[in-house]
Structure 1
Amino acid sequence: MPKEEIFNEPESSSDEEDPIIDEDTCNQFEIGSSFGIKYKIASESAVSLKKVYILSLCADKSFGKIAAGLSNNSVQVYDINNRVLSLATNDTLKLKTSGSVCGVRFLDETPTNLLVGSTNGSVSLYDLRTGNVEHSFQDTSDEVKKPITSFDVNANSRVICSGTDQVMNNVYLQFFDVRQKTILGGYFESHQDDVTDVKFHPTNPDLLCTGSTDGLINLFDISATSEDDALTSTINTEESVHKLNWHKNVYEKDVISCITHTNDLKTYECEEGDLIAEFDRTKVTEAIKRKSVADCNLISCHNLSDGGVFVLATSNYNKGEVVRSVQLQGKKLVPHALFDGNKQILRESLHDPTSNLVVTGGESGIVTLWTPYLADKTLPTTTGPNKLKAKSSLAKSHGKGKAPY
């Protein structure tokens, strides 16, 4: 009688009644020829020996220092030297609050000031040279506790905006003066549910976009004297908003990308609020050449140095080993890059368009620095036609105060 073979069944989608074993839709030769750029791991570091998630990442302007917000209520700080990650001086910041980390941002041109948001309702300014808290920005004007979900600092590092959960049927956008260390005020009527992302424009300090589970993306000119005047446009995505980012189209007009909580991708022209393109989870799965839609997850949208835009996407099958990016070209997604050797399900990513370096973090608590195989040579680039197009002929999907559900 032959000996019975013992083997482990492959991991498969956990959120389907009849799970699909995820695999490529074509052979390895076709995968390699389709994705023109290959990334390898240049350096990586585990933030803890215990089970810790990486919830947020940020880099300073030179991409020489990385901060990772962790699920154990702390922040790990790294230096990047010669494409190697190393722990920085005062490398671990332990929050002295009851909340958990909801975001990290470097404050200004120097890599010494780090802002750390906490769900307890405060944004703390750390001096990385000493590891001490210089100030904590918090709304103490009333007794209502406002849990922060997301925050950002504007282009000239003078204003912080934080978004909150829904509190007693109210949702708050709070503004703080960095220099005066005071609260400037807030917006209270523009969202009807939890704020999920807050993003200042990368160069215009007065331009702000916010997203929420109410499905709305709001654009504000914060130089205006009232909330009504500040709200310049409202886009109804008709889905719960997860992540936002700023881009430019071929005419140098502002464009916003939106990743939803259902892993769809949409882009909008800011001036009119028109939908430019949308890609549901199925289309993204097809673009990264995988089979299981349930395993496909979108991580972040990033800008390339030539004006192109790519989205990093993964398959959660087999602990997230498949990581790929696709580029937005008009109303199409085209293969962009492969990432070999990933060891975790990803949650966050950073990209430096100058060096083409990518940093990722995820559910196994690993910070990974990726570099292109051809990092020291000329990499394939895109030209003007591959930038985001200006408009689509689709009808507008925006309207102030109109919730999508």
Structure 2
Amino acid sequence: MSRIPVSRVPSLLPELTRCAAAPAQPGSELYIYEAVRAGRGLAVSTSALEVRLYDRFGLSPVHTLKHHAGQITQIRARGDRLLSSSADGQIALWDLRQPAARPAMVFTSADPILSFDLSTDDTMLVGGTQLNSSYAAKILFWDVRAAGAPARAFEDSHSDDVTQIQCCPSASKQFLSGSTDGLLCTFDPTQPDEDDALLYVANTGASVARCGYFGPESQFIYAQSDMETLQLWTVEATQLADFGDVREISQSGVPVDYIVKCEYDAASQRLYMVAGSNDGSIRLLHVGVSSMEHIQDLSSGHTDIVRAFDWDLHDGWAVSGGEDGRLTWWSQADQAQAPSTSAGARRPAAAGSGATSRRFAPY
């Protein structure tokens, strides 16, 4: 049996059902890398070095954004603004209110940009780069009001690719970085010196693929590795849990081949893990401090590895995309079809009387 205790709790969330599916581009062999809510629609990055915009509910194509000359490494949305980073060393900012042939602003780097985030006060853009030929992996800072080269850089905290940048949702002047060197670093960017700015360092012992804040005060950090391991930490670099290789839970009857992402729901104060199987099935699990709860499987949406998953727990829907080039819309089981853009928001039904006791409570 797996050393990760896994129980089956299907009532924790309303059930999601496949409502629509469509190829990102009929007749092509595109990979879908990421999908995010953007403006009133959906933005999808693909292996064609472009970002495609879709109607959020009908999955019909709306517009295509072409600018980058290298692989798109990340996309993020903030209101009607969309940002995309690329191995071409650029972060493009697009104004979705006026779809155009060119981005509204372009922020540049001498090195490929692997990750980035925008501070919660919308004033600072932080990017992480690939290790360059001079063996420098940089964290770069731009003033959002000034396109072009970065205003400053940190070069000493990481010794390998900076794979993740996450600005703290509850503190506009704090951010987290994760790297292939296995380190999670928490910074205060108001400090001009890198040594003074570095607050805490956690060594996960594994190449960090994704990391992020969770908890009501963003006091915890999750870190998943490219070896499919998952760890939980405090922001002060105290380890709370090491689940090891999450593929071990397959021994408990929940087939898992990889982690897609983790998702924190602030309303319920719960951390969820979205995992997948090589056949395209998606597993939804609730993550506790020492165990996991298997909520639901999303099947028949994909035939290959799922890379993208954007989940709106408040309105009860999700969209997924993957190496089969397909987009799939999932919605609450009590909805016969995806709601129209004019429909009012729907809140998921209550999870049941025992839901509160399953919130993440490490102490």
Q: Normalising to structure 2: TM-score of the pair?
A: 0.86
- Structure 1's unaligned 5+ residue stretches are 1-24, 26-30, 140-144, 392-405
d(CA) in 2 for partners of 1:330, 1:286 = 19
How many Å apart are 1:165 and its aligned residue?
Answer: 0.8
Task: Give the stretch that moved more between structures: 194-203 or 368-377.
Answer: 368-377
Aligned counterpart, 2:249: 285
**What is the correspondence of 1:69-218 to structure 2 with a 5 Å cutoff?**
69-80=45-56, 83-88=57-62, 91-95=63-67, 97-107=68-78, 109=79, 111=80, 113-128=81-96, 129-131=98-100, 132-139=102-109, 145-167=110-132, 168-181=134-147, 183-218=150-185
Q: Distance in 1 between matches of 2:55 and 2:70?
A: 26
Aligned position for 2:338 = none
Cα distance change of structure 1 residues 300 and 245 upon mapping to structure 2, 3 Å threshold: same
Alpha-carbon distance between aligned partners in 2 of 1:32 and 1:209, rounded to the nearest angstrom? 32
Is the CA contact 1:310–1:336 (under 8 Å) kept in the aligned structure 2? Answer: no
Partner residue in 1 for 2:341: none
Contact 1:288 1:324 in 2 (8 A): no
Q: CA deviation at 1:372?
A: 2.3
Return the alpha-carbon distance in structure 2 between the equivalents of residues 339 and 256 of structure 1. 26
Which residue of the other structure, out of 245, 252, 262, is the alignment partner of 2:227?
A: 262
CA distance in 1, matches of 2:319, 2:242: 26
Question: Which of the numbers 329, 338, 342 marks the counterpart of 2:301?
Answer: 342
Letter in 2 for 1:301: C
Q: 2:322 aligns to what?
A: 362
Q: CA deviation at 1:324?
A: 1.3
Q: Does 1:68 align with 2:44?
A: yes
How does 1:312-323 map onto structure 2 within 5 Å? 312-316=274-278, 319-320=279-280, 322-323=281-282
Corresponding letter in the other structure for 1:84: G
> Aligned runs of 1:52-63 on 2, under 5 Å?
52-60=30-38
> Cα–Cα, structure 1 residues 33 and 101, in superposed 2: closer, same or farther, change >3 Å?
closer
C-alpha distance in structure 2 between counterparts of 1:274 and 1:33, whole Å: 29
| Residues 22 and 59, structure 2, Cα contact 8 Å, conserved in 1 | yes
After superposition, give the CA deviation of every residue in 1:172-207 in whole Å (9 maximum; x if it has no partner). Answer: 111111113352211100000011111111242211
Question: Quick one: which amino acid aligns to residue 331 of structure 2?
Answer: T
- What runs of 5+ residues in structure 2 fail to find an aligned partner? 336-345
- Deviation of 1:287 (Å): 7.9
Shift of 1:42: 2.2
Describe the shift of the 1:224–1:134 C-alpha distance in structure 2 as closer, same or farther (beyond 3 A).
same
SS of match in other structure, 2:59: strand
* SS of structure 1 residue aligned to 2:103: strand
- Structure 1: how far apart are the matches of 2:232 and 2:180? 17
Cα distance in 2 for partners of 1:253, 1:181 equals 30
Q: 2:359 aligns with which of 387, 394, 400?
A: 387
Using the TM superposition, give the Cα deviation of residue 360 of structure 1 relative to its aligned residue in structure 2, in angstroms: 1.4
Which residue in the other structure is 2:260 paired with?
A: 299
Identity across the alignment (%): 23
Match of 2:21 in 1: 44
Distance 1:227 1:235 in 2: 17
Is the CA contact (8 Å cut-off) linking 1:104 and 1:115 kept in structure 2? yes
Structure 1 65/157 Cα, relative in aligned 2: closer, same or farther at 3 Å? farther
The residue number in structure 1 matching 2:291 is 332
- Tell me the TM-score normalized by structure 1: 0.77
User: How many residues matched?
Assistant: 338
RMSD: 2.4
Q: Secondary structure at the match of 2:142?
A: strand
The question of whether the paired residues in 2 share the 8 Å contact of 1:288 and 1:335 is answered with: no
Q: Judge conservation of contact 2:7–2:293 (CA < 8 Å) in 1.
A: no
Q: In the alignment, which residue of structure 2 is the partner of 1:402?
A: none
Find the aligned partners of 2:350 and 2:248 in 1 and give their Cα distance. Answer: 24
1:149 Cα deviation after fit: 1.1
Q: Which of 1 and 2 has greater Rg?
A: 1
